[in-house]
Structure 1
Amino acid sequence: MTEERKIQNVLALYVRATDRRDGKGQGALFTDDAIVRILCKTGPDEYKPFGEPLIGGDAVAYAVDNFMEPHPPGGSSHHLTGDHIIDVNGDEAHLNAQFVVFQTRAAERPADGWPEGARGAQGEVKPIESGYYDTDLRKVNGKWKIVGHRVLLDMPMAAG
């Protein structure tokens, strides 16, 4: 497997851990001194920080486990990433990728069964977030780890 593909796999593991709300799995992808920032778009190529940076994999794990809203029954999310730009320089690398997050909500099966003629998936899928992941990585003990991660959101965020 090429180094570029290994780096792309780190992002694939990251988004799957996010979708599963798996803080431990996501935190393991970061170094102890990694810096994670969430930024919201305020204008063309202009972003404003949302909240304080997270420092290290343990902080990432804590944030996922304690601040991300759990999925409701029948609910999940799915990240899609694309247009990966990867630059490898020895044991350091940079990855930039676009992302879209889809919210899924399964329809509850009616007690008397699906209506006549119902076919296919029953429920709703809708896009809820988009932006870019701008990520610095370093090879540590032969494995790529995230040392800097910026989530560049296309929309503002609210926390309540």
Structure 2
Amino acid sequence: MSDEREIQEILARYVRATDRRDGKAQGALFTEDAVVQSFSRTGPDGYEAVAPPLIGGAAVAYAVDNYMAPHPAGGSSHHMTADHLIEVDGDRAHMNAQFVVFRVQAASRPETGRPTGAFGAQGTVQPIESGYYDTDLLRIDGEWKIVGHRIQLDMPYVIPGV
């Protein structure tokens, strides 16, 4: 597999771990001293930090497990990433990719069953976030790890208490 494909797969694992709320899997993608920071867009080319940075894979795992709201019954999230720009320079790499996050909510099954003629997906899919993942990676013992990850949100983002 090419370096570019391996790097793209790291992001695929990252978003799947986020959607599953699996801190252990997500934290394993980062080095012990990785810096992860979220930003909100302030203008065409400007961003401001949303919260203090997380340092290291253990902090990322803790944040996913303790700060992300659990999905409601019948609910989930689904990340889509696109337009991956990847530059590899030996054992260092940089990736920038667009993302959209969707909130998925299954419709409750009526006690009497689905109405006659019901067909297709039953529920709603709503876009809730978009932006860019701007990520630095380092190959360590043959494995790509995230050393810097900037989540650049297109809209203001509020974290209570921060």
The TM-score bracket by the shorter chain reads over 0.9
Aligned equivalent of 1:128: 128
How far off its partner does 1:159 sit?
A: 2.1
Gaps of 5+ in 2: none
CA shift digits 1:63-113 (9 cap, x unpaired): 000000000010000000000000000000000000000000000110111
- Aligned residue for 2:42, secondary structure, equals strand
1:138-157 correspondence runs (5 A):
138-157=138-157
TM-score (norm 1): 0.99
Secondary structure of 1:43 counterpart: coil
| 1:112 counterpart = 2:112 | yes
Tell me how large the CA RMSD over aligned residues is. Answer: 0.5
TM-score after normalising by structure 2 = 0.98
Separation of aligned partners in 1, 2:59 and 2:72: 24
Question: 1:53: which partner in 2?
Answer: 53
SS at match of 1:113: coil
1:1-160 superposed matches below 5 A:
1-160=1-160
Letter in 1 for 2:153: L
Q: Tell me the matched-pair count.
A: 160
**How many Å separate the matches in 2 of 1:104 and 1:30?**
27
Counterpart secondary structure, 2:10: helix
Q: Distance in 2 between matches of 1:134 and 1:159?
A: 21
Query: 1:14-72: per-residue Cα shift (whole Å, max 9, x none)?
Result: 00000000000000000000000000001111000011000000000000000000000
**Separation in 2 of the partners of 1:80 and 1:142?**
27
Aligned residues with identical type, % of pairs = 67
Shift of 1:143: 0.4
CA distance in 1, matches of 2:144, 2:12: 13
